[in-house]
Structure 1
């Protein structure tokens, strides 16, 4: 099972709890943020019961240092700095801009680029492609049809895609955002990697094994990075050398922050917890703070300090996972009870102080667009 399929399973599990007991059969509705649209079209909701326990461990295995942070100001109640999508109104909001999403079966956008927002549009089930949503609401296609997993390069001039050549074969390609020209590709094959991020080390991918692949499209260099216990999820900020991964150790589920060195992956910080079968790490844009959303904590990669985020109830820890607005401010969806129905509200938290503030009530289905 790929990381995307695992996230989809966990997301559907969480959403099962939001359906009222007297709900009728569904019609077509807007889908949530996805990187693999064919998986979305084929998925069926499942439900499980989560048994929670808490036992936390943090430790450091590196001596990298960074300047101390300044005291955090009070958490602002201003509108989100990150663009976000509201499925109820089929709109994308970015500051004072509000853009109506193109008509079609589904839309999902992931990153700002070239005055618009990079993402996927599905005109109807089975017909999907990557492109840029323009401020006037039009969609500029980019790359070939049946391409997804759009991931921008650190300078946002290139985008990596997975192109489905058939139902069983595809390849990773790189397209120039401005011209739309394909500039690099990996050999086609049946192995279907998850593209998880792009930083100074290259394009990071997972393959369902206890390893990651890092590819530099500019040189063609490719290397395999083994991480003991790695189980498929990673957070790769564009501007940082540090990445965060999920891993298992000593029977516990862990998040690890580390950097790529000549001799392999160097772990800088590890935080482990019991009670969750799989974790989705979130790392700040500067690589200084990991968030373990199931436990609702932020971990300072440099010092190891663990800060409890002061939100009521439980943070949503599957899609959409929390998203950093900047180095210290985090947006997250948080559970709330609406009669017999489980709902989600949008909160902002400061990861240095743990202070949080509610921004929007009933933000069910909201998803975030990265800077």
Structure 2
């Protein structure tokens, strides 16, 4: 296992992406960075986490954002009291196949939401001290925290999505409808969400919705295969027909404008205006290497802040504040670089962790990942991308409760 489990990466969708809540100013997964023009099918992937759990015994589910505020509880529906806090497996027996894990100390529980489903494991979403029951037989793919709840996708366990919307602290799910195309995104403040919804004439609209009320704020026509790339203070980035060459930017108060990406895939996060361009879906010219470019949108174009190239290919993610680029470059493993200085950090965990658009951040320097170690054990790790230190959140038998990964 070279990156903790490739199936986990394929099944989870959504990297934090993010249009301003108002037309002209700044407005919370997984724009996708893959090798090839493969669609993300985010809706299915968001709920495929449970199936992945069965395959690789993922012990924790995470949502990434830079120290997001806790879900407000004072004026929100009160969830049921937590009767039995979740006990994270902390097996201390040595693992002969993965000796690296043996020396990693145990740390505290996750600082992000996750879901627990399955026989004997309950059926709920946990976020700090809040435990909210899920509808019987259903999974919820967490997209991000919003006021009095969580944005995400609800569907039949191990099955199809039923709708996207807000799961309230009361356990009620308010649906915003079925999506078309690929992806949805929260605004940087979490007060609005953008999704692609089908229309009766067989086409689709990119719709902006208030998360608190479900009220439609604005919409524009698009094709049913549109992929929502992300939302930051510049606006909503999206790709018609999932084609990188058709990337556009919409700021609600004006018509969408084309964004030149050179045919590369743009990855957008809602917590920073820095973005990533990946060239892996392009065949490099002789003597060239695939590269990751950190870019910013200024005066109608994407300007390069820094780049990292490797003959082994590149995948990567930005920290929520945009100050650290973490890359996975084949056998070179996971490496960190300060942005824009392009100087290396101490992060280096080649054998256990990969970095990609779905990487889960607890804050500006800690990433969390989960996966199976062979067929007998599973582990959830937290690693510091600045000093390279790692710790185990949980480690133990794959017979632990099925816990589903969220996305941001």
TM-score (norm 2): 0.64
**Corresponding residue number in structure 1 for 2:140:** 107
Q: 2:109 aligns with which of 79, 101, 118?
A: 79
* Aligned mates of 1:39, 1:323 — CA distance in 2: 14
- C-alpha distance in 2 between matches for 1:75 and 1:286: 27
**Residues 174 and 197 (structure 1), Cα distance of their counterparts in 2 relative to 1, 3 Å cut:** same
2:43 aligns with one of 30, 36, 39? 36
What residue in structure 2 maps to residue 238 of structure 1? Answer: 270
SS at match of 1:175: strand
* Cα distance change of structure 1 residues 146 and 204 upon mapping to structure 2, 3 Å threshold: closer
Do the aligned residues in 1 keep the contact of 2:347 with 2:386 (CA within 8 Å)? no
SS at match of 1:240: coil
Contact persistence 2:166–2:211 (CA under 8 A): no
Q: How far apart are 1:87 and its partner, in Å?
A: 4.5
* Aligned counterpart in structure 2 of residue 258 of structure 1, from 270, 273, 295: 295
Please name the residue that 2:204 is paired with.
170
Work out the CA distance in 2 between the residues paired with 1:198 and 1:328.
Answer: 22
The count of aligned residue pairs is 304
Note if contact 1:205-1:212 (Cα within 8 Å) is conserved in structure 2. yes
| Whole-Å separation in 1 of the counterparts to 2:166 and 2:323 | 30
Q: Which structure carries more strand by proportion?
A: 1
Q: Is the 8 A contact 2:326 2:355 kept in 1?
A: no
Further displaced range: 192-201 or 206-215: 206-215
Stretches of structure 2 that go unaligned for 5 or more consecutive residues are: 1-5, 13-39, 53-103
Written as runs of structure 1 = structure 2, the 5 A alignment for 1:78-227 is 78-88=108-118, 89=121, 90-123=123-156, 128-141=162-175, 143-146=176-179, 149-165=183-199, 169-190=203-224, 192-206=225-239, 207-210=242-245, 212-217=247-252, 219-227=253-261
User: Relative contact order (alpha carbons < 8 A, sep ≥ 6): 1 or 2 greater?
Assistant: 2
Distance 1:233 1:308 in 2: 27
Q: Could you tell me how far apart the structure 2 residues matched to 1:291 and 1:325 are? A: 14
Say which SS state the counterpart of residue 144 (structure 1) adopts. coil
RMSD of the TM alignment (CA)? 3.6
Residue 346 (structure 1) aligned with residue 377 (structure 2)? no
Measured in 1, the distance between the counterparts of 2:263 and 2:319 equals 23
Say if 1:9 and 1:296 are closer, same or farther in 2 by CA, change over 3 A. Answer: closer
Say if 1:193 and 1:306 are closer, same or farther in 2 by CA, change over 3 A: farther
Give, in whole Å, the separation in 2 of the partners of 1:366 and 1:96.
18
The secondary structure found in structure 2 opposite 1:245 is strand
Equivalents in 2 of 1:347, 1:332: separation in Å?
Answer: 5
How many Å apart are 1:149 and its aligned residue? 2.9
Gaps of 5+ in 1: 1-6, 14-32, 46-73
Q: Distance in 2 between matches of 1:105 and 1:298?
A: 38
Match of 2:347 among 296, 309, 320: 309
Q: For structure 1, which segment, 124-133 or 208-217, has the greater mean C-alpha deviation from structure 2 after superposition?
A: 124-133
